Amino acid sequence: MDLKQFIRDVPDFPKPGILFKDITPLLRDGAALRESVRQLAERLRATPVDVVAGIESRGFLFAATLAIELGVGLVPLRKPNKLPYTKLRESYSLEYGTDSLEMHQDAVNPGERVALVDDLLATGGTMGAAMRLVERAGGRVAACLFVIELSVLHGREKLVGVPVEALIRY
């Protein structure tokens, strides 16, 4: 199945000049949704994973379904001030300013192998912060998984030393 046909381009969202890759048609189609999760799991065939961590908020959708498929647990990596308990924070640069991701301090145990999941890889700043959170907790990043990669932005060059997999590339 060609998953690309389920991605909708929305020009100038959320601001002028951005071509937004909308995954909602993929989510809406039962066969495409199941196929996307199957393909994510397939990319991890030779990679042992103890836990899946997903990035707020569209990353949660694929991380949770992948965790169920693999039979492992799920860790949410959230925007600032959403998680209730003691947490670690990592910041990353945006086009204008910075943003941060947080993870509960006890979400990943030392030595655990973590598969990180987001819907889309652009500049790699978000996933880079996710990697640092896992590493600070003593975990090992087993792989970074995306549904979509915008390869022209070379985000994977920021994700050094780990397998980077994307189902759909532009």
The nearest distance, CB 102 to ligand AMP, in angstroms, is 15
Relative to beta strand 164-169, strand 113-121 is: unpaired
Token pair in block for residue 157: 């060059």
Query: Looking at beta carbons only, is 108 or 122 nearer to ligand AMP?
Result: 122
Q: Is the separation of the CB atoms in 142 and 170 below 8 Å? A: no
58 is catalytic: yes
Residue 135 appears among annotated catalytic residues: no
Nearest to 70 by CA among 102, 38, 22: 38
Selected catalytic residue, list 43, 58, 78, 156? 58
DSSP letter for each residue of 106-133: TSS-TT-EEEEEEEEESSSHHHHHHHHH
Nearer to ligand AMP by Cβ, of 81 and 93: the residue is: 93
Residue ranges in contact with ligand AMP by CB under 6 A: 18-21, 55, 58, 118-126, 155
Nearest to ligand AMP of 50, 91 (CB atom): 91
- Catalytic residue IDs: 58, 95
